[in-house]
Amino acid sequence: MNSDPEEKRPKESEPEEASPEGSGSGEAPSGGDSGLGSPEWKVSEPGDVRRNEGRSDEPRSNPGSERFESGDEASDGRAKTGGEASSGSDAGSGSPGSESVASASDAGGESESPDSGEAAPDGGVGSGEGRWPEGSDPEGSDVESGMRDAGAEYGAPDAAPGDGSDSDGSSSGREASPRRLHPSSMLFEALKTARSWASAAAIPGIAVLFGSGLSVWVIALVLFGISVLLVVSAVWGFLSWRATSYWVSGGAFHLRSGVLQKNERTIPLDHVQSVDTVQGFVQRIIGSVSRLKVVEVRIETAGGAATETDASLAALTRDDAASLRREVEGARRGTFGVEEEEVGPTVIRKLTTRELLIAGATSGQIGAAAALIGVGSQFFDDFIDSFLSRNFVEGIAASIAPYAFLAVALIVFAVGLFAWFLAIAGTVVAYSGFTISRSADGKYLNIKRGFIRRYEATIPISRIQAVRITEGLLRQPFGLAMLRVESAGYGGGTEDVGVSTTLFPLIPRRQIRSFLEETAPEFAVEPDLTPLPKRAARRYIFRATAPWIIIFTVAGMVFFTSGLSVSVGPLSLGLPGVPLPPTAYFAIPAAVILFLAALYGWAGYRAAGWAMAEDCFVSRSRTLARTTAIAPRKRLQSRNIVRSPFQRRVRLATLRTRVASGSGGATFEVVDMESSSAREIIERLGPRKP
């Protein structure tokens, strides 16, 4: 494999722990150590030799440090993984447990046979462990010591597996070798610290600057402050890097962190919902200017709140991330994109640039963007107030007054256009490069997207509870839709806070079925929707207009009793022709709004429908966008029928189903369906009698 042990070698030496290690090595013949230290190298046979040499050359540096260093090279991680994978063959042990064997042999060299047993499983599992021989020996003589202070404790987890030495091969042994993050995490930590301090200091700092003027002393003070900040952040970054380590052992993921207050978090592997990698802005920049490819890794659990990441590792090389993911996900190989060259995931669909732009143009985020502009214009007002003379502004206002209607129309148009571009830009940022793929074992979906912040998420297919097809107002006419999934106990990460995750942002409606066939076959149905009975239409329209009727009744009473209707004078609208009576001030908006509300109600009625398709309950409704929800019977957590007295009178009912979603649930409902069908369906959706 690509591993170049030699390269690693040079890097390994880290001053700090060298001494303890040295001692350790002293105990064990150095060769033995090395064996432990680098099972993966061992894997590549030639490597062994070198490694030994390397050993001798270098004062037996602590393996821990070396490992991290090695992280720099993208290749090295792979090497190890490859090592494991291939180790069977390479090691020549030939047995399936080959890797373990290999490591075992190392261990043997080491002299502690039981350890070797443990060592074996490590090697098998994860690349990572293999690397850390220390982990393998419980006593951890040299190794642990190598691992700074914490090392001793690490020894413990390893030790446990040690007993399991008998069961080595089978154990799939996740035992541990505490690993540190990639050293570049120092940078991230430092940046984070600097940023938080800087933002805390910024406002008072600026206030002082402007308040006291720029004297030499002030500048000196500021510079001093900045340099102190930088130094402190750097030191903090280093300390926290040193204090952070993670490992997988005893069926759990462990994360130790904290400079002052030590923290150790243990997440049972069973509870791990996903291992996501995120390439943040800084990481991408680093990646683009150097060969260093690091990612942030987030481990989420089923129980965790949707918004919070259960464990986050600031910087790992892609390969370390991949190997960690593999360990956590049960030593599956080439599960996701990270290891494309091994067993690639199948890319199911990619969002083309054209689709991306269409998605932006039809996203319907114009409203949100316009609101944003509205907020922005407040600041603009303040700006005008303070910097432009009132007269000047009023002069302009007066000069355009005759064309007020036109001017307003233009402004509205311009704002709308601007909002539209903002919406497109927002979509591009969020969904650029959207790629969905399926892992080689077909159990997971992997989604990558994002322009500035590269986002990657993994969704276990078996956890998907329901699919939502959303046809926005601007998309439905073109037969386009967006797909989302509700999945249980899976937050999806930072941007998709909560419950549902975008499965694909823009897809032609008629391709949805085949797309689902490939992603989540359970949901690939061709529903034949039953519309609602005609008498439901009246209720839909009534519900939509009722609040407005109340509002306009009250407003009308005020308008006509307060004398306002007289004082406003006739309404001209600025159009040629008859001036309208003052009542028009009230009647026209009321009529328009009531009409729109009725239309909204009618559209809701038209869109609503339900179906049983295969074993799925399909319900469709419309707020603004038309949404079709597909939920398999087996995924329903509960169902209910609600009937108000009015519904009872006309034999209609509202049917609701709930599925698990995130840490709570999501509800799908059909309002005003035929009461008898609702009762029939709620039974059909129940458990099947055996």
Please name the amino acid found at residue 420.
W
CA–CA dist 42, 28 (Å, integer)? 18
> What is the CB neighbour count within 10 angstroms for residue 656?
17
Min separation Cβ 559 and another protein, Å = 20
Based on the shown chain and the rule CB under 8 A, indicate whether residue 651 belongs to the binding site for another protein.
Answer: no
Q: Which of 489, 491, 505, 601 binds another protein (CB under 8 A)?
A: 489
| Closest to another protein by CB, 138 or 632 | 632
Based on the shown chain and the rule CB under 8 A, indicate whether residue 665 belongs to the binding site for another protein.
Answer: yes
Min separation Cβ 562 and another protein, Å = 16
CA–CA dist 136, 144 (Å, integer)? 10
Based on the shown chain and the rule CB under 8 A, indicate whether residue 350 belongs to the binding site for another protein.
Answer: no
Q: What residues between 177 and 206 interact with another protein by CB under 8 A? A: none
Radius of gyration of the chain from its Cα atoms, rounded to whole angstroms? 32
Candidate ranges 96-104, 123-131, 304-312, 641-649; the one touching another protein (CB under 8 A): 641-649
Alpha-carbon distance values, 354 to 362, 430, 456, 461 (Å) = 12, 15, 22, 28
Min separation Cβ 496 and another protein, Å = 19
Candidate ranges 93-101, 319-327, 421-429, 653-661; the one touching another protein (CB under 8 A): 653-661
Based on the shown chain and the rule CB under 8 A, indicate whether residue 643 belongs to the binding site for another protein.
Answer: yes
Based on the shown chain and the rule CB under 8 A, indicate whether residue 349 belongs to the binding site for another protein.
Answer: no
> What is the CB neighbour count within 10 angstroms for residue 411?
10
Helix axes 30-37, 63-70, angle to 10 degrees: 40
| Closest to another protein by CB, 316 or 682 | 682
Q: In the stretch 575-614, what mask flags binding to another protein with x, by CB under 8 A?
A: ----------------------------------------
| Closest to another protein by CB, 472 or 662 | 662
Min separation Cβ 610 and another protein, Å = 17
Geometric angle at alpha carbon 245, from 240 and 251, rounded to 5°: 150
Based on the shown chain and the rule CB under 8 A, indicate whether residue 271 belongs to the binding site for another protein.
Answer: no
C-beta of residue 640 within 8 angstroms of C-beta of residue 654: no
Based on the shown chain and the rule CB under 8 A, indicate whether residue 688 belongs to the binding site for another protein.
Answer: yes
Min separation Cβ 667 and another protein, Å = 8
Of residues 65, 67, 61, 68, the one with CA closest to residue 22: 61
Min separation Cβ 265 and another protein, Å = 24
Based on the shown chain and the rule CB under 8 A, indicate whether residue 659 belongs to the binding site for another protein.
Answer: yes
Based on the shown chain and the rule CB under 8 A, indicate whether residue 561 belongs to the binding site for another protein.
Answer: no
β-sheet with 464-471: strand ranges across: 500-508, 480-487, 464-471, 626-632, 616-622, 609-613, 530-531
Based on the shown chain and the rule CB under 8 A, indicate whether residue 563 belongs to the binding site for another protein.
Answer: no
How many amino acids of this chain bind another protein (CB under 8 A)?
A: 30
Based on the shown chain and the rule CB under 8 A, indicate whether residue 50 belongs to the binding site for another protein.
Answer: no
| Closest to another protein by CB, 291 or 651 | 651
Min separation Cβ 303 and another protein, Å = 11
| Closest to another protein by CB, 36 or 660 | 660
Largest Cα–Cα distance of the chain, in whole Å?
A: 106
Based on the shown chain and the rule CB under 8 A, indicate whether residue 686 belongs to the binding site for another protein.
Answer: yes
Candidate ranges 124-132, 219-227, 576-584, 636-644; the one touching another protein (CB under 8 A): 636-644
Q: Which long-range contacts (CB under 8 A, 24 or more apart) does 549-552 make?
A: 549/594, 552/586, 552/590, 552/593, 552/594
Based on the shown chain and the rule CB under 8 A, indicate whether residue 689 belongs to the binding site for another protein.
Answer: yes
Candidate ranges 352-360, 443-451, 526-534, 656-664; the one touching another protein (CB under 8 A): 656-664
CA–CA dist 128, 178 (Å, integer)? 9
| Closest to another protein by CB, 31 or 665 | 665
Q: Which of 660, 670, 671, 673 binds another protein (CB under 8 A)?
A: 660
Min separation Cβ 689 and another protein, Å = 7
Candidate ranges 167-175, 343-351, 530-538, 682-690; the one touching another protein (CB under 8 A): 682-690
Q: Which long-range contacts (CB under 8 A, 24 or more apart) does 682-685 make?
A: 682/639, 682/640, 682/641, 682/655, 684/612, 684/633, 685/617, 685/633, 685/636, 685/639, 685/657
Q: Which of 215, 354, 645, 649 binds another protein (CB under 8 A)?
A: 645
Q: In which residue are the tokens 């290891």 written?
A: 339
Q: Which of 239, 529, 641, 650 binds another protein (CB under 8 A)?
A: 641
Based on the shown chain and the rule CB under 8 A, indicate whether residue 623 belongs to the binding site for another protein.
Answer: no
C-beta of residue 63 within 8 angstroms of C-beta of residue 38: yes
Q: Which of 513, 535, 634, 651 binds another protein (CB under 8 A)?
A: 634
| Closest to another protein by CB, 275 or 659 | 659
The dihedral over CA atoms of 417, 422, 425, 431, expressed in degrees to the nearest 10, equals: -110
Q: Which of 170, 263, 266, 644 binds another protein (CB under 8 A)?
A: 644
Min separation Cβ 659 and another protein, Å = 6
Based on the shown chain and the rule CB under 8 A, indicate whether residue 664 belongs to the binding site for another protein.
Answer: yes
Q: Which of 249, 661, 668, 672 binds another protein (CB under 8 A)?
A: 661
| Closest to another protein by CB, 313 or 682 | 682
Burial of 268 (0-12, 13-18, 19+ CB in 10 A): exposed
> For the chain, what's the residue count?
690
Min separation Cβ 683 and another protein, Å = 5
Candidate ranges 36-44, 147-155, 269-277, 678-686; the one touching another protein (CB under 8 A): 678-686
Q: Which helix (H) or strand (E) holds 205?
A: helix 184-212
Which sign does the torsion angle of CA 142, 145, 151, 153 carry?
positive
C-beta of residue 477 within 8 angstroms of C-beta of residue 448: no
Min separation Cβ 687 and another protein, Å = 4
Q: In which residue are the tokens 């070396």 written?
A: 66
Based on the shown chain and the rule CB under 8 A, indicate whether residue 450 belongs to the binding site for another protein.
Answer: no
CA–CA dist 144, 150 (Å, integer)? 8
Based on the shown chain and the rule CB under 8 A, indicate whether residue 468 belongs to the binding site for another protein.
Answer: no
| Closest to another protein by CB, 303 or 508 | 303
Based on the shown chain and the rule CB under 8 A, indicate whether residue 636 belongs to the binding site for another protein.
Answer: yes
Backbone angles phi, psi at 669, to 5 degrees: -135, 150
Which residues have C-beta within 8 Å of that of residue 654, sequence separation ≥ 6? 641, 642, 643, 647, 669, 670, 671, 672, 673, 678
SS3 69: helix
Candidate ranges 140-148, 342-350, 430-438, 640-648; the one touching another protein (CB under 8 A): 640-648
Q: Which of 242, 640, 650, 669 binds another protein (CB under 8 A)?
A: 640
The dihedral over CA atoms of 158, 160, 161, 164, expressed in degrees to the nearest 10, equals: 160
Min separation Cβ 486 and another protein, Å = 10
> What is the CB neighbour count within 10 angstroms for residue 175?
30
Q: What is the DSSP string of 528-583?
A: -PEEPPTHHHHHHHHHHHHHHHHHHHHHHHHHHHSSHHHHT--B-TT-SSPPBPTH
Region of 76 (left: φ > 0; alpha: ψ -120 to 50; beta: rest) is alpha
Interaction site with another protein (CB under 8 A):
488-489, 633-634, 636-645, 648, 658-661, 664-666, 679-680, 682-683, 686-689
